[in-house]
Amino acid sequence: MAATIEPSRLPSPDRALRERATFTSTVADTWVLTRRNLLRNIRLPQVLLFSTVQPIMFLLLFTYVFGGAIGQALPPVAEGEYINWLMPGLLVQISVFGAGQTAIGLTDDLSKGVIDRFRSLPMARSAVLAGRTFADLGRNTAVVTLMLLVGFLIGFRYQTSFLRFLAGAALGLAFAYSLSWVMAVIGLYVKDPEATQSAVFLPVFPLVFASSVFLPTETMPDWLRVFADNQPITTVTNALRALMLGEGALPEGQVLASQLLISLVWIASITLVFSLLAIRAYRRAVN
Amino acid sequence: MATRSDGPIIEVRDVVRTFGAVRALDGVDLAVEPGIVYGLLGPNGAGKTTLIRVLATLLRPDRGSVRVAGVDVVADPNAARARIGLAGQFAAVDAFLTGRENVEMVGRLYGLSPRNARQRADDVLERIGLTRDAGRQVGTYSGGMRRRLDLAASLVGRPEVMFLDEPTTGIDPRNRLELWDLIEDLVAAGTSVLLTTQYLDEADRLAARIGVIDRGVVVQEGTADELKDAVGGSVLELVVPDGHHVRAMETITAATGEEVLELAGRRLRVAAREGSRTLLEVVRALDAAGVEADDIGLHKPSLDDVFLAVTGEPTGQDTDVGHDIDDPASTVAGDRSRGRRG
Ligand SMILES: Nc1ncnc2c1ncn2[C@@H]1O[C@H](COP(=O)(O)OP(=O)(O)OP(=O)(O)O)[C@@H](O)[C@H]1O
Ligand SMILES: [Mg+2]
């Protein structure tokens, strides 16, 4: 190798490098890391499969296995089609599941020493977590788009306006973004990539099933229903459903405006609280 | 150095860093003059990686002061980061990026423009001999190629000070020689290098000064020659028949007053401060004790002997991949566990 190269190619040290993060350099660093993390999503086969095959499998299985039996029990806005009811719920479900990737990606970087490399560079510190969550938002957007396309193919039809439909999708993505921060905290505390897998998915399953994601909560036992009705996954699912199907999709006594408002408050507070916790956990994890 | 021609480029004063009950650094003092390779030797668990992590702003010391290139590392880590390059003990490169993408990304994070980063990435990749493989995903690289890529990435910012933690561990002999050339070229171009190594020949060849670290303290410091002189005139090495170790060791210690080290394969080693006179004394004493040596000889001390004398333990030099092999000859009293990163 070196034998073929004249030593003069080796540059002297230079001091043209920046020493302080400025706004522009922070944006640039965040973009560099977002791009890197997006490439990770695309190029690692296991991540790509998880992001594409798994959600579509859920969509198809639920539609065709449960759809026939459940269709009759749904509110009229679903027009007797379970897929109409299911689609908004699944958008929330994949947001919750997908957020786990934030934790897994972070622990992967931690255990491979990549985070150490970043920390030895004169880059904006915030870019590590921001680049991670932005990339996961990008990934989620792609997954949601794919899901909706497949959904349309097998019969999903929104019952409101295109704008409300888009607003619904955006709400789901915003919720997913807030959950990325929760998962970042879990990942940064657990640290070990394998352990993170279960630390992330164990709590996610009961939370998703004890909600209005798959079915209305009316038939659940009282103790479970109290929990299900008041947890954010249900609130966001209900708001999303009302945006896509109309207010008739909401349980007795609820209106879109209030569900939407409560959802946005949930999303804002989760993002705020958990991003602060994540920054603290990040500092702790690396020292 | 463009900025400083006087004073040390690395200055460590009384640095302590503990992990729970482990005192990984227990009062380290170090001063490295600019423009040289400084070699850090020490057994497994001595604290070499911990010291490098402190210098590279990855760990805060519990106590003490650390200056690199004139910057207080603890008070102003980002200013320090703009002046340093780090190639850690384990390659930290992304398997899903190509070699070039990896180096370019680090260049961007050093604050280079996209064009500049690309240009410099091409330069360092060429210099380190990875041009041909630069377009391949790193997941397909061999271990040694990854380490070289890791080194390339840390060069892309043209740092004033490079920290290399066991840069040639796991690298084949030919590439090792070439990395040595590269490190020498770096220094010729004005970079200061602090490296750790398990290979004493590496320290002998590259390092203008050497520090031996043991149990978190720098126990010996100087040029390779100074360190060898400090061990004493020469070294006596002998091979004794099976079962005669203990008797031989006791006899030699009684005759010379020196501690005898036991190496693998019935081999004993002792400092011979008075050269051939010591040799004669030992031969006579062994004769009187009825121990017949299979082989006996006087050597000039090597860095190995320095290491043995100073730390009381053999290095992992004989094992090809250093401390990664579970070779009793490379263990150190106390601890050989390596903490996970982070
Ligand atoms: N993150 C950590 N948590 C707990 N203990 C640690 C941590 N890092 C290092 N140690 C401990 O500190 C001591 C010094 O470790 P260090 O990695 O600095 O040794 P070293 O000289 O680099 O060894 P080696 O030659 O094996 O690389 C060891 O006892 C190690 O177990
Ligand atoms: Mg080490």
3-state DSSP of B5-45:
CCCCCEEEEEEEEEECCEEEEEEEEEEECCCCEEEEECCCC
Residue B59 counted as domain residue: yes
Ligand 1 centroid – CA B287 distance (Å): 45
| Residue boundaries of the structural domains of chain A | 23-285
Domain assignment of residue B330, yes or no = yes
Instruction: Please give the Cα distance from B148 to B87 (Å, whole number).
Output: 9
Question: Which residues touch A195 (CB under 8 Å, ≥6 apart)?
Answer: none
For the cut 80, the answer to whether the pLDDT of residue B300 exceeds it is no
SS3 B194: strand
Nearest alpha carbon to residue A156 among A209, A230, A247, A89:
A89
Q: Are residues B241 and B185 in the same domain?
A: no
Report pLDDT for A103. Answer: 93
Structure tokens, B104: 């370019």
Asked if B55 and B73 touch (Cβ cutoff 8 Å), the reply is yes
Q: Where residue B297 falls among pLDDT bands split at 50, 70, 90?
A: confident
Nearest residue by C-alpha to atom 2 in ligand 1: B339
Does B96 contact A10 at a Cβ distance shorter than 8 Å? Answer: no
Nearest residue of chain B to residue A7 (CA atoms): B185
Residues 6+ apart with CB under 8 A from B44: B316, B323, B330, B331, B332, B335, B336, B338
Q: Whose CA is closest to atom 26 on ligand 1? A: B44
Three-point CA angle B147, B153, B158, nearest 5°: 130
Distance in Å, CA B165 to ligand 2 centroid: 7
| N- to C-terminal Cα separation, chain B | 32
Bridge partners (DSSP) listed for residue B26: B16
pLDDT lower than 70: segments of chain A: 1-20, 287
Structural contact between residues A187 and A286, judged by C-beta atoms closer than 8 angstroms: no
Residue entry with tokens 């260049």:
B107
Instruction: Please report the pLDDT score of residue A149 as a whole number.
Output: 95
Q: What per-residue confidence (pLDDT) applies to A82?
A: 86
Q: B324: pLDDT confidence band, cut at 50, 70 and 90?
A: very low
Alpha carbon separation from B86 to A37, A48, B145, B157 (Å, rounded)? 22, 32, 17, 10
Which element (helix H / strand E) includes B157? none
| Position in ligand 1 atom list of the atom nearest CA B50 | 18
Specify whether B35 is located in the same domain as B138. Answer: yes
pLDDT tens per residue, range B139-186: 999 988 998 999 999 999 899 999 999 998 888 888 888 889 889 999
List pocket residues of ligand 1, CB cut-off 6 Å: B 19, 22, 24, 42, 44-50, 89, 323, 335, 337-339
The one-letter code for the residue type at A132 is R
Quick: pLDDT tens for B1-21: 444 456 899 999 999 999 999
Q: Which atom of ligand 1 is nearest to the CA of B316?
A: 25
Interface test with B, best of A10, A120, A123, A192 (most B CBs within 10 A): A120
Domain count, chain B: 2
Q: The complex's ipTM? A: 0.85
Q: What is the 3-state secondary structure (H, E, C) of B49-84?
A: HHHHHHHCCCCCCCEEEEEECCEECCCCHHHHHCCE
Indicate which of A114, A117, A189 best probes the interface with B, i.e. most B CBs within 10 Å of its own CB: A117
User: Any idea what the CATH number is for the domain that residue B336 is in?
Assistant: 3.40.50.300
Do A161 and A244 meet the contact criterion of CB atoms below 8 Å apart? no
Does any domain span residue B3? no
In a domain, B307, yes or no: no
Angle between helices A193-209 and A82-112 (to 10 degrees): 160
Give the DSSP H/E element, type plus range, for residue A161.
Answer: none
The verdict on a CB contact (< 8 Å) between B96 and A39 is yes
Give the CATH number, domain containing residue B284.
3.30.70.260
Q: Which two tokens stand for residue A75?
A: 């509110």
Please give the angle made by the CA atoms of B69, B74 and B76, to the nearest 5 degrees. 65
Q: What are the chain B neighbours of A119 within 8 Å (beta carbons)?
A: 57-58
- How far apart are alpha carbons A169 and A175 in whole angstroms? 10
Residue B313: inside a domain = no
End-to-end CA distance of chain A: 37
Give the global pTM.
0.81
Integer Cα distance of B63 and B69 in angstroms: 20
Beta carbons of B111 and A123 less than 8 Å apart:
yes
CA distance A143 to A271: 21
For residue B49, report the distance from its CA to the centre of ligand 2, in Å: 4
Can you give the pLDDT at residue A20? 66
pLDDT digits (tens, 9 = 90+) for B26-44: 999 999 999 999 999 988 8
Helices (H) then strands (E): counts for chain A: 11, 0
Residue B324 parent element (H or E): none
Q: What is the pLDDT of residue A4?
A: 36
Instruction: Return the percentage of chain B with pLDDT > 70, whole number.
Output: 88
* DSSP, res A4: G
Same domain, B260 and B123: no
Is A34 in contact with A141 (CB distance < 8 Å)?
no
B176 within domain boundaries? yes
* Residue B213 lies inside a defined structural domain of this protein: yes
CA-to-CA distance for B184 and B195, rounded, in angstroms? Answer: 12
What is the residue-averaged pLDDT of chain B? Answer: 83
Q: How far is A182 from chain B (nearest CA, A)?
A: 21
Give me the domain span that covers residue B164: 10-227+320-341
Cβ atoms of residues B209 and B181 within 8 Å: no
Q: Give B232's pLDDT tier (boundaries 50, 70, 90).
A: low
Among residues B81, B158, B147, B9, the alpha carbon closest in space to that of A10 is found at: B158
Whether residues B114 and B242 fall in one domain: no
- As a dihedral over the C-alpha atoms of residue B151, residue B154, residue B159, residue B160, rounded to 10 degrees, the angle is -40
**Encoded tokens for A280:** 């603290």
Q: Tokens in use for B232?
A: 């004493």
A24-38, B249-263, B276-290: least confident range: B249-263
pLDDT over 70 at B327, yes or no: no
Q: By three-state DSSP, how is residue B206 classified?
A: helix
**pLDDT band for position B258 (50/70/90)?**
confident
3-state helix, strand, coil split of chain A in percent (to 5) is 80, 0, 20
Which ligand is the nearest neighbour of the Cα of B339?
A: 1
Which residues of A are less than 8 Å from B126 in CB distance? Answer: 5, 9
Which residue type, as a one-letter code, is found at position B320?
A: D
Cα separation of B119 and A173, whole Å?
38
pLDDT of residue A287: 66
d(CA A129, CA A3): 41
Residue B155 token pair? 């060069």
